[in-house]
Amino acid sequence: MFLVNIYLHNKIRQCMLSFAHLLLLCIVLNFQIFSAEVQADIVSIETFQNQTLNWTHCFAEMECATLNVPADYDHPRDEIWSLAIARYPWKSDGVRLGILFVNPGGPGIPGIPDLAGYPRFWDTLRKNYDIITFDPRGTGSSFPTVDCLSDDEKYAIRNQVSSPESEAQIKLARILGRLQADSCFKKYGKKLALFSTKNVARDIDILRSAMGEPQISYLGFSYGTYLGINYAELFPGRTHRIVLDSVMNPAINYQRIRHDQAIGFQKSIERFISDCPRHEDCPLPPGKVSGLQALGNLVARMDKSPYKSEDGRELSGSRTLGLIESSMYMPEEGWPLLRNILKSAFAGNYKPMLEKAFSPALMVNPADSPYLAVMCHDLQTTRDPEAPKTLAKQWRHQAPLTGAARAWSLQPCEYWPVKSQQRPHLVSLMGAGPIMIVAGQNDPATPLKWARALGRQVKNAVSLEWRGEGHIVYGRGGSCADLAIESFLTSSAPLTQSIKCP
């Protein structure tokens, strides 16, 4: 997805499941105590802003608490929702600069498991900040969560063909797209509009106020950059430093997002094919055309006759393509993995590919209700169920392997029952603190041109471009990028000149 569903780092994703039950237990217990104390007394936004946070130890050096927020900021007295929040406290061996709010991306991704999964990653920034995050409304251990579909319905969506061709396949894609939209509206009604990015940004400001901080610094990745842009647009004077890593362009709609991603993933896959012969374990035939044909034939084979394991799991064409795309996010891990499972698949052994398609290695998830609840509401500007079929034909010519599937991924949004009143638009972020726009030159999920477009909009921003492959720069882009980002967040005189890192 941006995820589709993109997370801070693959290693963090692998770690997060091992902490999930522990974190859930402590957060739920904390909520039961804290919510009961506050709910009866909340009568205004000011009461939310002035609430007391009861921090308790929850894992390693992490502390957890619960933040109460209004479900609807236009009607704050109507209903209270609760957000699971967590922090790594300031280490006390540097000058404290306040709080650094971190969002790993998504949308629809809980922040706490990512923060818990790799605590040493934050040691440098903890010298100057409390590192803080939450599970955004609708996700993780926050309440309520967005979960619209049964397991069988999710399975049916994930096991579609990669790109519907026949009338029966097109009909099924539309039925399942409508099912996703209708199921969410049936469960949440008009409240489905309350999971928006703008409301998550307002939640961040409630957290800032409850912690007694006049400003926050912000580090957002992927979709987290869009959240940071929204916060800076709503509350510019309350920002200290902002780093936007792997940037979304707030001026384009979801249809344009999916189109640009189709092109980006197509190019990344072609670079994977070009790189493959340099490795002894390369399973692809020589040449870009032959390599693309081999991958396309594999996806088509799974479309026509999915591989089924003894336990009933199914490797569909959609999952196969999703796994190929997912391997482009972090090539240092994804490309060797993909070569390995392709070698087995081309030899007739599909089990390794199936196992990876049912693991965190598959980041592309078309049945993710929390993701759709945000993207379809915030950024999908059309409601035309016929559009994906038309776009699939056009995009296939531009991106033969990825274009049609990305077009069809729009289908649920074409039925989505709620829509933001604010369209995608240019931003200036005037009055905000210093801003750094970070981008990888070969990022398939958030293409470089988005970062450059945002840079033209935000005149007070500096840029950092990494000449690297894959999604997310901080922690992957080497010492040049990491030191520049850390210095920008912590220096008394932040960087004012844009830089490029090898």
pLDDT tens-digit profile of 429-444?
999 999 999 999 999 9
Comparing 245 with 18, the larger pLDDT belongs to 245
Tell me the whole-structure pTM to 2 decimals. Answer: 0.93
- Report residue 222's pLDDT band, with 50, 70 and 90 as the boundaries: very high
| C-alpha to C-alpha distance for 338 and 331, rounded to whole angstroms | 9
Nearest to 344 by CA among 404, 428, 265, 283: 283
**Residue 19 scores a pLDDT above 60:** no
Task: Report the mean per-residue pLDDT for the chain.
Answer: 92
245 neighbors 472 (Cβ within 8 angstroms): yes
End-to-end alpha-carbon separation of the chain, Å?
A: 27
**Residue 34 scores a pLDDT above 80:** no
Residue 16, amino acid: M
Domain containing residue 129:
1-502
- Report residue 118's pLDDT band, with 50, 70 and 90 as the boundaries: confident
**What pLDDT shows up at residue 38?**
43
Strand partners, 242: 218, 435
Cis upstream peptide for 144 (omega within 30°): yes
| C-alpha to C-alpha distance for 269 and 132, rounded to whole angstroms | 35
Residue 69 dihedral angles phi and psi, to the nearest 5°: -135, 155
- Binning the chain into helix, strand and coil, the percentages to the nearest 5 are 50, 15, 35
Nearest to 229 by CA among 446, 59, 436: 436
- Report residue 44's pLDDT band, with 50, 70 and 90 as the boundaries: confident
227-253: average pLDDT: 98
Domain count, the chain: 1
The CATH number given to whatever domain includes residue 123 is: 3.40.50.1820
**What pLDDT shows up at residue 42?**
55
251-264: average pLDDT: 98
218-243: average pLDDT: 98
For 150, other C-beta atoms within 10 Å of its C-beta total 10
